[in-house]
Structure formats: structure tokens, C-alpha cells
Structure 1
Amino acid sequence: MLKRRRFAALAALCTASVLALSACGGGSSDTAAQGGAGAPSELAISTSGTWITTFAPLWAAAPEMAAIEKKYNTKISYPGFGKGNDALTAMLGGSAQICNCSFNTALKAALASDELHYVVNMNKGAGTVAIAAKRYEAERGTDLAKFDGGNWGYTSEGSISQVSLKEAAEHSGLDWANQKGIALGAMNAFAPALQTGRIDIAMMDVASAAQAVKDGIGYPVLNTNDLSVFGPIGGTLIGNGLVMPEKFRQKYPELSQDLVNAVVAGLNRVRTVTDPAAVMQLMPQGFRDARSDPQLFAAEWAFTQPGFLSTDGSTTEQAVKDTTGGGDFSEADLAKPEAGTFLDNSMVDKAYEQLRIPRPAVQTAS
């Protein structure tokens, strides 16, 4: 009976949010339907990786995205890249209109005078799990201090995986300057590097982490998505979200709002669902095809789902301080006007008004 009620509630949310996309917004629906000023004929949202579980709110927004395609006579695609910097470059270079990017990665571009806005958050936490080589499990366990002087892997310098790994090491009393940091680039490089001994511990995406554990290559040391665990270490880290250029928002204001509404609807559809089988039913076919192993997906979802409990799509100033406090931004950087306007919660606020769904209480760092 509880499952029936939960699915009924989810179905109601889906129906209400899709209807809201058609009914709300300040632009002309006639113009939009003609593919005129309302939207480009094709809309690419660049993202790091394809069908990544951490981005579940985006994939769960498939019904809303389909409604947007119909409303605006446009085609939405999600070109995937091996790392966030490449996804951002695609947007800045014009091959994508919007980026599903990490907060810090996009903020760096914004500080370089690109007028960008982080308009809706999908997850808090780094979206990653620290996985150590299996050979260390008995000797070192989850004590990061025992990895002193070792090889620490992450995607790239300044990435959220590097920032969170550095903070975790320093919280354990280690001097990051004494660690051998290795930027591995693409996500698929993690497991081979761990298996061959190139790295001793790595901050992996959840899919790589779950696979490494299943294959017996590594074991979990720290889940950054669990605020109750990572909050005392690094506070509330801002994960990925939609990043929009100011020019896009000005040219397509109604479309921009509808896209934020879609992600907010997707987030609320999945954020409290702990049953991986129930989550899978909310996902589009492409995601299901990419997650054909139920046991592996269950491990991924267990790592991922806590990261949705600490967000409603918006972001606090304290979370910005926590996220940018890893040493990659100077006080002068953060005092720039571009930094002050980068975070914009106004579209999330409007999304809850237009979707007419309750705004959830979020978990906070304590």
C-alpha cells in the first residue's frame, strides 16, 4: 500500500510539473511553437559523462524535457564528456548552449569575464566516493592519515574531486603538499590506476566506485555525498547544476525558466526514494539500458542518494564559502562582481511557485 501511494504521489508530481511547463512562463507560446525567438531549433546541455547517477534529477526530468521539446519545437540533447572542464568548454565554445557543470569549474570561467549563472543545483557533496586499493583494507581501513605520502587520484586540478580529497586529507591531519596528487582526467581511468598501483586512493564518481568495490579492486573510505559524514570535514559542497550564459537567459527567458522547472521537478521526484528499483522506474530507457546490473546500481544509488537530501535546487551563501574555500580562489577573486552574480537562486524560487509543489526541508551540516 505504501509503495502504491508513493508511486501515485510521484505520478501526480510528474503530471503537475509537465502541465506547469505548458501553462507557466512569460513568453509567447505561439512564437515558441514556431521555433522562433522562443528557443533554438536544437538545445545541447553538455555534461560530464553520460547517464551519470549523480545527475539523476536531470534524467528524471525526462517527461518535462519532452514537454519542452514539444512546446518550443526544439530538440534537446546531452553530449557527454570525460570531465567537467570539457563540458564547460563545449558551452563556452558554442557547441552547447547550457552546461551541467560543477560549481567551482564554472565559477572559474565566470571570473574570466564570461557572464555565467549557476541557476539550479542537482546535488550537494562532491558526487564522489573515496576508494582505496583493496590491498590496504585490513591495514589502513578508513583512516586517511595512514595514506600519508601516498598517491592520491582525482580528475583534474581544481575539480570538486580534488578539492574534496584535499579537504578530507587535511581534516585527517595530513599536509596536502606532502601527498602525491595525480590528475587522472577521464573517469574511466580510476579503476585501472588503482588496480595497477599507480594510485593508492582516489576520489571516484559513484559508478566507478561501485564497480571498483564489486570487482574487488577497492573498498570505500569516505562518501562525500553523505552530509552527516562529510559535513564536519568540508561543510556543504555544491555539486553539479545547470550553468547558463547570461546571453542565453536574455534571449530565451521562458525557455530558461522551463528548464530550471524541469530539473526541480526531477530532483523532487528522486530525492527521497531509497529503493533503487523504484528509482529505475522513474528513469528514461537510456538510463535503464546503461544500468542493466541491478546489484551494481543498488550500490551506486546507496552512495548517491544522500546527496539529494541536502538540496532543494537552491544554494546558500555558506555552501558557496564551503565550496570555494579549498584554496583555488583568492579573496580578490570572490570579491569580483562576476562572483557575486554567479549564483542565482531566483529561478529555483520561481520554479516552486510555477510548479506548485511543496518546497522540501533540506538536511544541513551540523
Structure 2
Amino acid sequence: MKKNSLRTAAAVLSVVAAAGLAGCRSSNSDSAGDASKTPTVRIMVGGIDKVIYLPAMLTQQLGYFKDAGVNVKLLTEPSGASAENVLLAGQVEGVVGFYDHSITLQAQGKCVESVVQLAKVPGEAEVVSTKAASKLTSAADFKGRKLGVTSPGSSTDYLTQYLAKKNGVETADYTTVAAGAGSTFTAALQNGGIDAGMTTDPTIATVTSQGLGKVMIDMRTEEGTKAALGGLYPAASMYMDCGYVQKNPETVQKVVDAFVKTLGWISTHDASQIAAKMPKDYAAGNPDLYTQSIKDSSPMFTTDGVMPDGGPETVLDVLGTFSETVKAKKDDIDLSKTYTTKFAKAAS
């Protein structure tokens, strides 16, 4: 076995201006105690142009945050792991990222909870390069390969490790490469920096349309996720610090109201209608391809923002299989403290 190493495929630039964050102060109560003011909530998104997190910008575009009576400022970091760190530093009030971070953080003695569940499956796929596709046909073939993830400690990293171990391959048997997403992931796949990697749309659509790779394991649908992981894996969510939620229930409800309204809107509109509402630059000059990526991935979204039954247990099983942090605390994890359905149900 070789030692697992991390290699950066390309530098990923954060869209967030450091000065913008430095100028913001964390709010610990609704509108600093002034009910006459519209509350402001800063939400960090782990890749704002990723289709898995589409509800964040779509809610803004539809005007639903404003309608709900809350001023939401959307910021972005290239990965969920980076977004999580900004929340813990008190620089934002919420994160749109994978629910699994709330479990990992509880194992580390911290409390964050998903207040609205945007997706019931990861919305991700393991994409194999065209060059490697003939010999790399399943997770059982991961040994000796260079596998791309968004970043170390990200959800793509977690899921890659789980798929490997489930198929008899140890983490030390393959090389993990921090490949980012979008153009950096595509370049890594094209130039041989990775043999395969886990990513999301619209990157998946770009890679497959250009003939650079093909989908090997598809977790954008319930069927594909259950086949790969053994159950639903609730992923994209908006999570917040437990203390903030307790002190600011009215503000949290307003934000969740807006998200749930958007989820309902998605369920009643087709991909072309959804794409038309998004910023034009998200299509990267190819609106047809962007629309296709939304069509392929939109089945992942919940319609009501409520955590799916059995989902948290699957996530805990995945994390408890490989993560030493979670494994050591697995029997002590209280899943009921990692999410709440009261805001989404009230919105419904």
C-alpha cells in the first residue's frame, strides 16, 4: 500500500472578497434586538454556481427572501469545507452546504443544525476520464488511481472514501487529488491529473458533452444513490449554529419560508424555466448545456425542505465507516441535534 497523498490540481480562487467579510459583524439576535428593522443574514454557499446549491441563488433571483422580510447576502467559497470554517469563525450566519458537516462537527464538540433540507441525495457523480474508462469501471477499480475531490475533508472526499471501502479498496490504496470544481476539475481530468473524480453539475454536463469522460457512479437520483450507498443521503442543506437558531427563531423562519417556497417553485417548473431565472454567466456561454445539467440534477431536490426519513442514519453510517473523528464518537452522536424540521414544516 502506498501512502495517500494530496496534490492540488489547480488553484481555486474564492469569490468572496476578504474585505467584505472583514467588514461584517456576526449577529447573535434578531436585527440586533430591533424588530422594526429587516434582519440581515449572511449565507456562505459552498460553490454558488453549482447546480446542487441552485436554490440559494434562485431564491434570491425570485425575490423570495425579500418577500419573506429578510435581507440575505449570498457569499461563496469553492467547497463546503471552506464554507464551514467561515461559519465557525462567526463571519456568516448560515451555510448552504452538505448536511454531513453537522454530524462531523458534533463529533468535534460543536453544534450546527440543518434548518432546511434542500436535497435528499448528493447530486454528485463519479466521473471517469475517457482514457481510463475501459479499465476503471467501478469503485472496485479505484486501487492505484488518482481520484479527484473538491478539497480534503469535503463531502466529495467523504463519499469517495466510503465508496472505496465499500468495494474493498483502502484509502491508502489510491491518491486523493484536490481538483476543485468547474474548469479546474475539467482540466485535471483532461490532462491526466486525475483518472476519475467526484463532481456535480454543470461540471458533469461539461465533461460528458466534450467527450472527456463519462458518468460511472450516479448519485443525482434516488435510485442511483440507493444503489451506491444503500439508502438516501440527504446532502445540500442550509445549516446554522445551534445557538444562533435558538436566539433568532423569527429570522430563521423567514429564511426557511423563502427556501421552501423556492423548492415548491422548482417542482412545478421545467429546467428551461429554472435556467432562465439564474444569472446568465452561470451558463458559461452554453445555455443549452446548463439547462441540461439542471434537468439531470433537479430530481435531487426536496419539495418541502423536510429531512427525509432514514437519511441522517445513512449519512452517519457513511461517516462512521471511515472518519476516525466520527467513528470514535459514533455511539454518542445525537442525530436529532444535527437537524430540525420545525421551520420547514411551519413553512409548508
Q: Check whether TM > 0.5.
A: yes
Distance 2:299 2:204 in 1: 15
The aligned residue for residue 298 of structure 1 is: 291
Q: Once the 2 structures are TM-superposed, how far is the Cα of residue 100 of structure 1 from its aligned partner?
A: 0.9
Distance 2:84 2:93 in 1: 10
1:189–1:289 CA distance, 2 compared to 1 (3 A): closer
Q: 1:92-171 counterparts in 2 under 5 A?
A: 92-137=88-133, 139-140=134-135, 142-171=137-166
- State yes or no: 1:198 paired with 2:198: no
Q: Which runs of 5+ in 1 are unaligned?
A: 1-26, 353-366
Contact 1:45 1:99 in 2 (8 A): yes
- Aligned residue pairs, count: 310
The residue identity in structure 1 corresponding to 2:178 is A
What is the RMSD computed on CA atoms of the aligned residues? Answer: 2.7
Equivalent position SS for 2:132:
helix
Larger Rg: 1
Contact 2:53 2:97 in 1 (8 A): no
The aligned residue for residue 10 of structure 1 is: none
- State yes or no: 1:268 paired with 2:261: no
1:65–1:216 CA distance, 2 compared to 1 (3 A): same
The aligned residue for residue 45 of structure 1 is: 43
The residue identity in structure 1 corresponding to 2:44 is S
1:174–1:247 CA distance, 2 compared to 1 (3 A): closer
Distance 2:111 2:142 in 1: 41
Q: Which runs of 5+ in 2 are unaligned?
A: 1-29
Distance 2:246 2:316 in 1: 27
178, 203, 211: which one aligns with 2:206: 211
Contact 2:87 2:94 in 1 (8 A): yes
Distance 2:165 2:106 in 1: 28
Distance 2:138 2:154 in 1: 23
Distance 1:58 1:266 in 2: 9
158, 177, 186: which one aligns with 1:182: 177
Question: Percent identical across equivalent pairs?
Answer: 20
Deviations 1:132-190 (A, max 9, x none): 111234x2474444454211111234432123333444455545442223233555431
Instruction: Decide which structure has greater helix share.
Output: 1
The aligned residue for residue 58 of structure 2 is: 60
1:200–1:141 CA distance, 2 compared to 1 (3 A): closer
- State yes or no: 1:313 paired with 2:311: no
Distance 1:83 1:323 in 2: 19
The aligned residue for residue 243 of structure 1 is: 239
Farther-moved stretch of structure 1 (238-247 vs 333-342): 333-342
Distance 1:157 1:187 in 2: 17
Q: Once the 2 structures are TM-superposed, how far is the Cα of residue 295 of structure 1 from its aligned partner?
A: 2.1
Scaled by the length of structure 2, the TM-score of the pair is 0.79
1:252–1:277 CA distance, 2 compared to 1 (3 A): same
Farther-moved stretch of structure 1 (335-344 vs 297-306): 335-344
Q: Once the 2 structures are TM-superposed, how far is the Cα of residue 253 of structure 1 from its aligned partner?
A: 1.5
Distance 1:134 1:280 in 2: 28
1:206–1:315 CA distance, 2 compared to 1 (3 A): same
The aligned residue for residue 274 of structure 2 is: 279
Distance 1:350 1:167 in 2: 35
1:193–1:251 CA distance, 2 compared to 1 (3 A): same
Contact 1:126 1:164 in 2 (8 A): no
